Chains A and B, each alone.
Chain A
Amino acid sequence: MQPSRDDFVIAIRSAFLSKSAQQRFSLLLLIFFSLVLISLSKFNFKGIDYIRMSFKEVAYRSSFIVSIPEKYIKIGYYSLMDHLQLYKNYQETKLELEILKSKELNNKYIIAENLRLKETIEEIKFSTEDIYAKVLLDKNSPFLKSFIINKGSRQKIKLGMAVLNKGYLVGKVVEVNFLTSRVLLLTDLNSKIPVNIEPGAIQSIMSGTGSDNGKIQYFKDQKNISEENIVYTSGAGGVFKSGIPIGKIELDENKNIQVNFFTDFSQLRYVKISLYEALN
């Protein structure tokens, strides 16, 4: 027998409107409530902001506790991978160390010279306030590249602060709660950072790709950029101090310019949050 239109309407009505003995709320009522919440989120309704913030505090803390077993599995997985690649890593590190030793001497001289020159041209100096935070949650979600840290407005975290790991930029603070904050990683599709590509002092914008690398946008001549160029923050826009290292340029098979980040974002445990303020 062909199901008639009436059967369809009855089935829909029964599914969405009627509530069974075990259900306290009807489905349609809760869907309506969700839509109201979405609309309030969109229009940044002030009244629910506080409720939302406290709800997030509870969710982050509970999520941290619930994630503990998976975190141990994750750590075990990474240490197993590290062990399997130990010899290869050792050889590579040995070679790198030799090169770095020779470069270090040059660097010391260049840093001293740079400081002297900056004083000569009276460039703005920055004062830095550093706050160290623990990564509470790092979901590595494919849709939003971000993580939660255990410092919030109570510890004077502010929106837009730079987040660093071992001196390399990893992202910026995009949401501040009382005890926690959310950091948007450089790899997120919505991350846009003004950068400087050296050597050559090429100014550009680096955006995230949603995967493990970044993308360079808005530059005139691609020929000036080659592999092994280093990407630094440019300081344009005043969000970050200039010269924070980000990553290395890489060209893919199609000669597209990509940024290979210095930091492995899946391995972040502790980060440094810095607010750069210009000294008068």
Chain B
Amino acid sequence: MVKFQKKKITYEILKSFPIILLFVSVLNELDLNYLNFKYFSFNFPFILVFYFSLKKSDSLGYGFIFIAGLFNDAVNGLPIGLSSLSYLLVCGFAAYLRNITLRPDLIKDWLFFLMTICVTNSLIYFLIVVFFKVNLNYLDYIFNILFTFLFYIIFAYFFDIYQRFVFKKEND
């Protein structure tokens, strides 16, 4: 009985892994900025939110994503609501792709992810610069998009392994 309960708790923790990872990443900003590589930065929450909204939509609740965005804004000093909006837009794009996809293909997902982050980041850039009148380095944003796009395929590989390990199946 105790063994069964322990197994259940472990499974629940493993099942909640995407949510835990999302909150750790927004609170801790897993972006290796301290390496001080010029222009190097990437948006890990975008990768996480897009992947799990696309492949396992019940892993991340929209409410949690919204709250994670608020935490990210507080930590980064952005106007409250901006990151939530961007994460939810990424969710929307992923949900749209899930609805129109019959045969999933990693490369197509990857290219759609590029389009998603380009649109979302453009909107956020516009809101920050025009609406809030804060200066931002455009080049930093471009490189952030580029590295986020490049890292997607690597993280997608690891998330696939996680899914196979926990849910014993590919995806939705």
A-side residues, CB < 8 A to B, are 3, 7, 10-12, 14-16, 19-20, 22-27, 30-31, 33-38, 40-42, 48, 52, 55-56, 59-60, 62-63, 66-67, 70, 74, 77-78, 137, 139-144, 146, 175, 182, 189-190, 210-212, 266
A16 CA / B94 CA spacing, docked (Å): 10
Q: In the assembled complex, how far is the CB of residue A151 from the closest CB belonging to chain B, in whole angstroms?
A: 17
Q: Are B99 and A14 in contact (CB under 8 A)?
A: yes
- Do residues A144 and B92 form an inter-chain contact, with CB atoms below 8 A? no
User: Which of A36, A144, A146, A266 gathers most chain B CB within 10 Å?
Assistant: A144
- Provided the pairs A11-B100, A142-B41 are in contact, do residues A37 and B62 lie with their beta carbons within 8 angstroms? no
B33 at interface, CB cutoff 8 A: yes
Instruction: Please state if A23 and B39 are interface contacts (CB–CB under 8 Å).
Output: no
Residues from chain B with a CB closer than 8 A to the CB of A141 are 29, 31, 33, 41, 76
Q: How far is the CA of A33 from the CA of B82 in the complex (A)?
A: 11
| Minimum C-beta distance from B121 to chain A (A) | 11
Bound Cα distance from A34 to B75, whole angstroms: 17
Interface 0/1 of B77-90, CB less than 8 Å to A? 11111101100110
The interface residues of chain B, by DSSP majority, are classed as helix
Is B150 part of the binding interface, using a Cβ–Cβ cutoff of 8 Å?
Answer: no
Residues of A contacting B136 with CB < 8 Å?
143, 189
Task: A24-B63, A31-B88, A37-B70 given; name 4 further pairs at CB < 8 Å.
Answer: A16-B92, A34-B66, A142-B33, A143-B141
Is the pair A11, B99 in contact by a Cβ cutoff of 8 Å? yes
A175-B34 contact given A24-B63, A27-B95, A66-B24, CB 8 Å threshold:
no
A181 to chain B minimum Cβ distance, whole angstroms, is: 11
Residue contact B74 to A22, C-beta cutoff 8 Å: no
From B1-9, B104-112, B127-135, B154-162, give the one contacting chain A: B127-135
Residues of B within 8 A of A52 (CB): 80
Which of the residues B57, B63, B80 comes within 8 Å of A41, measured between beta carbons?
Answer: B80
- In angstroms, Cα B137 to Cα A266, docked, is 19
Residues of A within 8 A of B48 (CB): none
Contact A15 B29 (CB under 8 A): no
Q: Collect the chain B residues with CB atoms within 8 Å of residue A182's CB.
A: 77
> A59 is contacted by which of B27, B82, B96 (Cβ under 8 Å)?
B27
Cα separation A48 to B81 with both chains bound (whole Å): 12
Q: How many chain-B residues does the 8 Å CB contact rule pick out?
A: 55
Which residue numbers of B lie inside 8 Å of A, CB to CB? 23-24, 27-31, 33-36, 38-39, 41, 57-58, 61-63, 65-66, 69-71, 74-82, 84-85, 88-89, 91-93, 95-96, 98-100, 127, 131-132, 134-137, 140-141, 144
Q: Are B57 and A139 in contact (CB under 8 A)?
A: no
Asked if A67 and B28 sit within 8 Å, CB to CB, the answer is yes
For A27, A78, A210, the residue with the greatest tally of chain B CB atoms inside 10 Å of its CB is: A27
Q: Which of A41, A63, A77, A137 contacts B79 (CB 8 A)?
A: A41
Query: Which A residues are in CB contact (< 8 Å) with B144?
Result: 142
**Are B75 and A63 in touch, CB under 8 angstroms?**
yes
A22 and B57 in contact, given A27-B62, A33-B66, A37-B84 (Cβ under 8 angstroms) = yes
A175 with B77, Cβ < 8 A, contacts A27-B91, A190-B134 known:
yes
Answer whether A144 and B71 are a contact pair too, CB < 8 Å, given A38-B127, A66-B24. Answer: no
A47 to chain B, nearest CB (A): 13
Residue pair A266, B27 in contact (C-beta under 8 Å): no
Known: A139-B33, A175-B77. A30 touches B61 (CB 8 A): no
